[in-house]
């Protein structure tokens, strides 16, 4: 049985679409579990792109740690020029997942799904 047959006849794009939708549902559920006061907010415009240095300052870590999160796929980023940029909403999601993983081992699965989706997104 081929991979596309195992996925109900979907090709690679169909599988990616299903995975993206599943990830969206998981993230929505996780974000709903937080009360507004619990989740830290990133101070930036909604479509702002943050530098690695800005993310590092926000998170209280050094830039190589942020790059490691990006390289592992845990933190989504783009590279429009020669340096990575992180969308403010992606950083907020990352913070929420990290906070959740400290509270529950279930969140580690969410981290793995996010990591996988980040790597899939970079393959396109």
What total of structural domains would you count in the chain? Answer: 1
d(C-alpha 5, C-alpha 20), whole Å:
19
pLDDT band at 121 (very low <50, low <70, confident <90, very high): low
Query: Which has more confidence, 48 or 112?
Result: 48
pLDDT at 47 over 50: yes
Q: Determine how many CB atoms are found less than 10 A away from the CB of residue 92.
A: 16
Which domain range does residue 116 map to?
3-123
d(C-alpha 40, C-alpha 36), whole Å:
9
d(C-alpha 99, C-alpha 39), whole Å:
8
55's tokens? 């993310």
User: At 74, which CATH number?
Assistant: 1.10.1660
The number of CA neighbours under 13 Å toward the Cβ of 17 is 7
Evaluate whether 47 touches 87 at the Cβ level (below 8 Å): yes
Q: What is the rounded average pLDDT for all residues in the chain?
A: 75
29's tokens? 């559920």
Give tens-digit pLDDT for 65-107. 999 999 988 899 988 888 999 998 889 888 888 877 666 555 4
Query: Which has more confidence, 113 or 60?
Result: 60
pLDDT band at 27 (very low <50, low <70, confident <90, very high): confident
């Amino acid at each position: 049985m081929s991979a596309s047959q195992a996925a109900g006849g979907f090709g690679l794009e169909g599988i990616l679409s299903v995975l993206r939708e599943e990830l969206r549902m998981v993230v929505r559920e996780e974000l709903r579990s937080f009360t507004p006061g619990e989740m830290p907010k990133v101070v930036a415009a909604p479509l702002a792109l943050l530098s690695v240095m800005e993310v590092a300052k926000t998170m209280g870590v050094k830039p190589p740690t942020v790059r490691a999160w990006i390289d592992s796929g845990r933190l989504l980023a783009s590279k429009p020029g020669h340096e990575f940029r992180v969308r403010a909403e992606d950083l907020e999601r990352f913070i929420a997942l990290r906070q959740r993983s400290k509270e529950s081992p279930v969140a580690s699965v969410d981290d793995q799904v996010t990591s996988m989706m980040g790597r899939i997104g970079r393959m396109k």
